[in-house]
Amino acid sequence: MSTPPHPQPPAKGASHGAGDFSYVGIDAILEQMRRKAMKQGFELNIMIVGQSGLGKSTLMNTLFKSKVSRKSVVSTPEERIPKTIEIKSISHDIEEKGVRMKLTVIDTPGFGDHINNENCWQPIMKFINDQYEQYLQEEININRKKRIPDSRVHCCMYFIPPTGHCLRPLDVEFMSRLSKVVNIVPVIAKADTLTLEERDFFKQTIREALRANGIDVYPQEEFDEDADDRMINDKIREMIPFAVVGSDQEYQVNGKRLLGRKTKWGTIEVENIAHCEFAYLRDLLIRTHMQNIKDITSSIHYEVYRVRRLNETNAQPNGQPPNTLANPQQANGVAAQHQVLTHEM
């Protein structure tokens, strides 16, 4: 007596035609990856650095079209200028079309606001390295978590005052130091205070200063993966630094509601590329290069830190890790305060 045949699962390639015997179904992995990513969600950690009054909080709110900046959530009657650099972060859960993302905005009040700004980059450097250290310790645990929380800084937006002249020594020092440990995206803040000619001259001057000082901002040329990447990134590098205008106010322009800044001469449209380069910055950070920014953080910046720390550990007697985070550039007496606030949208 013959046994009945086993039921066969429906063929994935059935839609490709019954006679398509060459179809295996390897392309289905993309859908599997998409479902897994949608289920897990994403994390993005952005640090904003620049002296007060440059519109850092407003620009972050404009980028995500939500009140995501620390100042928008934490109401303070009048914020004082701290005596030392403070590191403050706030997290949000954002969802768009079924895609969930945990966004953390890290603010640095006090940076560049003092008469003597010497070494004011050090608390920021320490904070970035502390996040690498925290991730490393989770990674080397015997019973480590299935998914390690990622607090590493993926991108640092550095706000340059719209002087129209050249980079200040503080700007050069900060970007020279920090570009080695984090992806830096420089922006010219409040670019509507410059004429188009002044803006173009300032951008060119900044690019020359970056090259002269060996500062490699994102997207770094050495990390281009292929010719296509290089062609796309070359166009972005020609635009750096982005001259941006931020606004969370809507105005009626030609029958449309637009984000902008209203003046007696007219309305500056934030997302109009003829008015400013905000749209290019948004596309870089969110729509085209977000995953690449995270990949470079993980495979380049964090990896450099991890190798150095493990080498230090191996060099210690009995293999004990050093008591303090190794950072020869860190000066004594500089304190960084890290306050984490959680806010769900």
**For residue range 53-67, what is the model confidence (pLDDT) as tens digits?**
999 999 999 999 888
pLDDT bucket at 73, cuts 50 / 70 / 90: low
pLDDT cut 70: percent of the chain above it: 82
The verdict on residue 325 lying in a domain is: no
Q: What is the pLDDT of residues 152-175, one digit of tens each?
A: 999 999 999 999 999 999 999 999
The verdict on residue 296 lying in a domain is: yes
Mean pLDDT confidence for 186-215: 96
The verdict on residue 14 lying in a domain is: no
Q: What is the pLDDT of residues 121-149, one digit of tens each?
A: 999 999 999 999 999 999 999 888 888 99
What domain range is 186 assigned to?
Answer: 35-69+81-246+275-310
Q: Is 268 helix (H, G, I), strand (E, B) or coil?
A: strand
The verdict on residue 122 lying in a domain is: yes
What gap in Å lies between CA 232 and CA 248, rounded to an integer?
A: 30
What gap in Å lies between CA 292 and CA 218, rounded to an integer?
A: 10
Q: Of the given ranges (91-95, 196-200, 223-227, 251-255), which has the lowest mean pLDDT?
A: 251-255
The verdict on residue 254 lying in a domain is: no
Total domains in the chain come to 1
| Residue 225, amino acid | E
Q: How much is the pTM? A: 0.83
Structure tokens at 303: 């990896």
The per-residue b/e assignment along 91-107, b for 16 or more CB within 10 angstroms, e otherwise, is: bbebeeeeeebbbbbbb
**How long, in residues, is the chain?**
345
The CATH number of whichever domain residue 302 belongs to comes to 3.40.50.300
Strands 256-263 and 250-253: antiparallel
What gap in Å lies between CA 21 and CA 113, rounded to an integer?
A: 69
224-231: long-range contacts (C-beta < 8 A, 24 or more apart)?
A: none
Greater confidence (33 vs 293) lies with 293
Q: What is the pLDDT of residues 40-50, one digit of tens each?
A: 889 999 999 99
What sign has the CA pseudo-torsion 324, 301, 42, 235?
positive
The verdict on residue 93 lying in a domain is: yes
Q: What is the pLDDT of residues 276-286, one digit of tens each?
A: 999 999 999 99
Chain-centre distance of CA 97, in angstroms? 22
The verdict on residue 179 lying in a domain is: yes
The verdict on residue 207 lying in a domain is: yes
